[in-house]
């Protein structure tokens, strides 16, 4: 069986990881693979070449697509598609993995529907032999689009990386805007989809947002009012995010020049325009895009190989970290329906089609508008617990601002529960939390201190509060169980280890994965002049292997060691032998990721000595302990958005007088009652969580 793979349409970060996964999974499953270069243009011209395991080495971290992409007018013609069919049959390919946008996926389905006609015509004209003729073409698609505009999937390949570029740019612009008391209009990509702009608005705390799905009535007046309200709260800068397809309520396009003119109608409002353009498409893919694309590629090959006569084309879609197939053309049709709804000004329909996350983002953005302080009707307390995690500040900002929109005051405990017990409380206003999402660690401070069961100081400190929100790690479960009889307690999981149960992701874990992947990228580059080297990279997580496995997928590590799997001498011997073989076949650098609590007997330095001793001189070893680098730095956009989404529900829950743990499960924000949260308390991790996905962990071991 031979599988063809192509990338088509606009490029997107993550296409290369998807390509790598398709090729390696096909080989794992006993199939061969061919690359169709330059998209449909290469399919028409016959640029089809075999591609093997080593051909996709060292592309995991690269942006764009190594096999090229191009738009092809000729493929839109019947004769162009006939030549494409001829080239596929001559190459022995009748199963096609397509990585591209809705136009590319529609083109693949058109070729599939015409396939039998092409077979007959090519046979009758003698352009193919009966042996080359195949009765069916099987298609599986993966959406490669930074716009995140495909119906039925929570994330598309490239969208997280593009969001990273946008947020980095806005964070950078914020400092110069503040210096000059200046407004910036930032135009972002997205075609007719406002996801990137909406997510960036939440991640950066933008003052105003213009997107196609939710136009603003009298947008000029509301724009000026929003900027003025921010200035009255003490803001020295204003950021307006404009999706490139933004329109008014009557459907007229809104341009950056129009927004600039509206702002400068007020004397003294100095305004600049920044159009990010193709910067959003470029650069290395984020950790999330690497992992997502790898999972999609593995699932796509499995689906292709399972297809039989009459199988309809499939699109591999995501719901959070889960991957599942949907009917391809149904997803494409629904996507086109959303575009038609926007064109017809049926905005409620269009917004509903974008899915619940888009609605959540808009709700957070709207309710985060500047709010005048007054005497609160109710009060909630917020505290951090455990180690610092990037994104804690974003959660705090959302708690304060959404509570203020309900007329509720927020008291923040300094230095965790110990500070709360000592009465170190500070009332926070809208302005106090301005600009927090981009700041690492936490302005409140945090520690691991837990109260004794009979400690009455916390009860006294919380006597006047209507609820408590704990932002932190595994220790929050213990604290919540002790305090929930006193008042409603809601947990917002924030820990880079992602070891809190009842959630697929914890705040901070995405930032940590990005740090690990970037570090491994640099280690690989450092080894260019020193061949035959294995880096033993120790990552955090203790007895929860989420970071190690997820970063292992994202970085292309050859071996990953975690406590859940254990480390056994027989495994070490097999892993070393596999590395020796791959170095003999041309490998120059290997990566071994070790969770810092993987084994009491084999710590990272011991493993490095064993690898070095048993390598027979085939390679040498170096140890890199990333340590607290994984907890520091600016939070990723993914962590900022997750923090805001979880905090939004936490505020609503605690104001309803109910306790619980707020988490994300299959892409949706859910609340689990504290009594229903089960965990492996001894090892401080969930009872079970699959982090690698079927076949994913086997894609790396012989990379060269």
Active site residues: 147
Q: Are 635 and 437 in contact (CB under 8 A)?
A: yes
Q: Phi, psi at residue 350, to the nearest 5°?
A: -65, -45
Q: Residues with Cβ < 8 Å from 647, sequence gap 6 or more?
A: 394, 395, 396, 398, 399, 402, 469, 471, 492
Closest CA to 166 of 220, 209, 217: 209
Cβ atoms within 10 Å of 679's Cβ, excluding its own: 16
Strands 589-595 and 533-539: parallel
Distance CA 173, CA 166 (A): 11
Q: Please report the DSSP string for 162-192 in residue order.
A: HHHHHHHHHHHHHHHHHHHT-EEEEEE--TT
User: Which segments of 310-453 does DSSP mark as H helices, in order?
Assistant: 328-343, 347-353, 356-367, 392-405, 416-421
Q: CA 325, CA 142: separation in Å to the nearest integer?
A: 10
Task: Please give the full DSSP string across 665-693, using - where no structure is assigned.
Answer: ETTEEEEE-GGG---BTTTTB-S----S-
Phi, psi of 277 (to 5 degrees): 55, -140
| CA pair distance 549, 570, nearest whole angstrom | 20
> Is residue 274 a contact partner of residue 173, using CB atoms and an 8 Å limit?
yes
- Residue 240: how many CA atoms within 13 Å on its side-chain side? 32
The widest CA-to-CA distance across the chain, in whole angstroms, is 90
The dihedrals phi and psi of 148, each to the nearest 5 degrees, come to 55, 45
Helix or strand (DSSP H, E) at 518: helix 509-526
The residues near 268 (Cβ < 8 Å, ≥ 6 apart) are none
The string over 450-460, giving b where at least 16 C-beta atoms fall within 10 Å of a residue's C-beta and e elsewhere, is bbeeeeeebee
């Amino acid at each position: 069986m031979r599988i063809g793979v192509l990338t088509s349409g606009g490029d997107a970060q993550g296409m290369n990881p998807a390509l790598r996964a398709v090729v390696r999974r096909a080989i794992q499953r006993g199939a061969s693979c061919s690359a169709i270069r330059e998209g449909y243009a290469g399919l028409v011209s016959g640029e089809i070449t075999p591609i093997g395991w080593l051909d996709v080495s060292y592309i995991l971290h690269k942006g764009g697509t190594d096999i090229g992409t191009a738009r092809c007018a000729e493929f839109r013609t019947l004769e162009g598609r006939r030549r494409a069919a001829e080239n596929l049959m001559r190459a022995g390919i009748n199963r096609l993995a397509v990585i591209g946008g809705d136009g590319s996926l529609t083109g693949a389905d058109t070729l599939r529907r015409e396939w039998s006609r092409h077979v007959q015509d090519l046979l009758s004209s003698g352009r193919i032999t009966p042996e080359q003729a195949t009765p069916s073409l099987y298609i599986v698609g993966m959406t490669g689009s930074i716009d995140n505009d495909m119906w039925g999937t929570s994330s598309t390949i490239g969208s997280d990386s593009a969001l990273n570029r946008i947020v980095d740019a806005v964070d950078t612009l914020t400092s110069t805007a503040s210096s000059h008391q200046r407004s910036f209009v930032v135009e972002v990509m997205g075609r007719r989809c406002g996801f990137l702009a909406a997510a960036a608005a939440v991640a950066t705390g933008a003052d105003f947002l213009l997107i196609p799905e939710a136009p603003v009535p009298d947008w000029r007046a509301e724009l000026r009012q929003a900027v003025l309200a921010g200035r009255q709260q003490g803001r020295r800068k204003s950021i307006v995010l404009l999706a490139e397809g933004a329109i008014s309520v009557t459907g007229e396009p809104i341009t950056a020049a129009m927004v600039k003119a509206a702002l400068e109608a007020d004397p003294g409002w100095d305004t600049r325009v920044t159009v990010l353009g193709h910067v959003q498409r470029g650069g290395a893919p984020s950790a999330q895009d690497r992992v997502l694309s790898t999972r999609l590629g593995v699932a796509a090959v499995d689906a292709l190989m399972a297809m039989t006569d009459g199988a309809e084309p499939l699109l591999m879609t995501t719901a959070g970290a889960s991957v599942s197939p949907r009917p391809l053309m149904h997803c494409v049709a629904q996507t086109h329906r959303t575009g038609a709804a926007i064109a017809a000004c049926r905005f409620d329909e269009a917004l509903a089609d974008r899915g619940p996350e888009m609605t959540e983002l808009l709700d957070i953005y709207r309710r985060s508008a500047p709010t005048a302080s007054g005497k609160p009707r109710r009060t909630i307390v917020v505290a951090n617990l455990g180690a610092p995690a990037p994104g804690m500040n974003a959660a705090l900002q959302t708690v304060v601002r959404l509570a203020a929109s309900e007329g509720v005051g927020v008291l923040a405990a300094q230095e965790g529960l110990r500070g709360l017990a000592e009465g170190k409380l500070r009332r926070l206003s809208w302005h106090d939390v301005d600009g927090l999402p981009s700041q690492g660690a936490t302005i409140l401070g945090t520690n691991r201190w837990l109260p004794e069961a009979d400690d009455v100081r916390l009860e006294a400190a919380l006597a006047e509060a209507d609820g408590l929100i704990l932002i932190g790690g595994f220790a929050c479960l213990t604290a919540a169980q002790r305090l929930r009889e006193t008042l409603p307690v809601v947990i917002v999981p924030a820990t880079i280890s992602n070891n809190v149960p009842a959630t697929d992701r914890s705040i901070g874990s995405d930032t940590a994965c990005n740090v690990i992947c970037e570090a491994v990228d640099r280690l690989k580059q450092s080894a260019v002049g020193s061949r035959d080297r294995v880096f033993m990279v120790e990552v955090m997580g203790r007895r929860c292997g989420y970071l190690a496995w997820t970063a292992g997928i994202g970085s292309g590590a050859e071996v990953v060691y975690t406590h859940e799997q254990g480390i056994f001498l027989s495994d070490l011997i097999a892993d070393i032998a596999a590395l020796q073989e791959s170095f003999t076949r041309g490998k120059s650098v290997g990566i071994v990721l070790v969770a810092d609590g993987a084994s009491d007997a084999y710590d990272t330095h011991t493993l490095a000595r064993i690898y070095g001793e048993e390598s027979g001189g085939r390679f040498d070893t170096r140890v890199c302990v990333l340590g607290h680098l994984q907890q520091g730095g600016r939070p990723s956009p993914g962590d900022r958005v997750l923090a805001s989404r979880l905090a939004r529900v936490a505020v609503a829950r605690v104001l309803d007088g109910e306790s619980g743990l707020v988490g994300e499960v299959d892409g949706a924000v859910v609340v689990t009652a504290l009594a229903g949260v089960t965990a492996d308390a001894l090892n401080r991790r969930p009872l079970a969580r699959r982090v690698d996905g079927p076949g994913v962990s086997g894609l790396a071991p012989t990379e060269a």
